[in-house]
Amino acid sequence: MSFENKVAVVTGGAHGIGKAVADALRADGATVHIIDIKPSGGGWFEGDVSNKETLEKFASEIVAKSGHVDILVNNALPLMKGIDSCSYEEFQYALAVGVTAPFYLTKLLAPHFNEGASVINIASSRDRMSQPQTESYTAAKGGIAALTHALAISLAGRARVNSISPGWIDTSDVGDADGIVSCSTFTGPDASQQPVGRVGNPRDIAEMVLFLCSEKAGFITGENICIDGGMTKLMIYHGEHGWTYEEK
Ligand code: NAD
């Protein structure tokens, strides 16, 4: 796919899935603007997406440098804490990173969207299922999934808006070095509990971002695509798949 002359924006693009997405877009010709909280050394706009003024400065810089936006990927990772330990402020922070920032950055950049623009929100399979003690993250992911269809309707004719819900993606191999390493170190039950027989890698998500942003996906908006190796589709009963129920 060619993204020559396209301008893309990726939040949390310094590591993991965001880095794989940014690298893939750049490799296909796009100019990519990244914001990340990690120290940048000049490689990206350094800042916390939970901060309103930071988002305003970032958006102004993008418009000053590139003039327009074709692709926005809201990816920065929200805090995961559970009901026993998560404070009011921490819960608010998770929602600020995971829901308010995607909303506000989209609002700031929408007036500068080119024809055919695309917004991709990175949700999680946790938007539909939970482990104990994950409320701040899970609520943020439910929020961004619903924000996606709301924005798709409000921005109809100006941008297509879709979300991706990754399952278990091993980001440990995707450091700050060059290139995308796609082999996961997870084997045995970690891999075989997934219907496809392996843990995911960031490239699995980047490929879907490229497709959703392309003209090939021109009839898709307001949609959520779960990329989890089939894990959310596996029904487990006691005694199956090596799983044994233990009384608490
Ligand atoms: P990661 O930790 O590898 O990368 C996240 C990036 O976001 C980091 O570079 C980090 O510095 C940046 N970031 C965090 N808080 C920020 C903030 N407040 N402002 C700016 N940047 C910030 O994580 P990842 O696994 O690549 O996660 C990327 C997205 O994918 C997240 O939204 C995450 O919830 C989602 N996701 C990941 C998985 C998985 O298994 N890895 C599964 C489902 C969903």
Instruction: Express each pLDDT in 182-208 by its tens digit.
Output: 557 888 989 988 999 999 999 999 999
d(CA 215, ligand 1 centre) in Å? 27
Which residue has its alpha carbon closest to ligand 1 atom 31?
A: 77
**How far apart are the C-alpha atoms of 64 and 33, rounded to whole Å?**
12
Which has the closest alpha carbon to 131: 162, 168, 99? 168
- Residue 214 belongs to what domain range? 7-233
Place of tokens 């603007």: 33
Q: What is the CATH number of the domain that holds 150?
A: 3.40.50.720
Q: Percentages helix, strand, coil for the chain, rounded to the nearest 5?
A: 40, 15, 45
Directed axis angle between helix 101-109 and helix 135-154, to 10°? 20
What are the residue numbers of the active site? 137
Total domains in the chain come to 1
| 145, part of any domain | yes
Which residue has its alpha carbon closest to ligand 1 atom 7?
A: 12
**Tell me, what's the pLDDT at 245?**
85
pTM of the model: 0.96
Ligand 1: atom nearest CA of 17 is 26
**Tell me, what's the pLDDT at 173?**
64
| 244, part of any domain | no
| 246, part of any domain | no
Instruction: Express each pLDDT in 92-139 by its tens digit.
Output: 999 999 999 999 999 999 999 999 999 999 999 999 999 999 999 999
d(CA 12, ligand 1 centre) in Å? 6
Tokens of 132: 């104990």
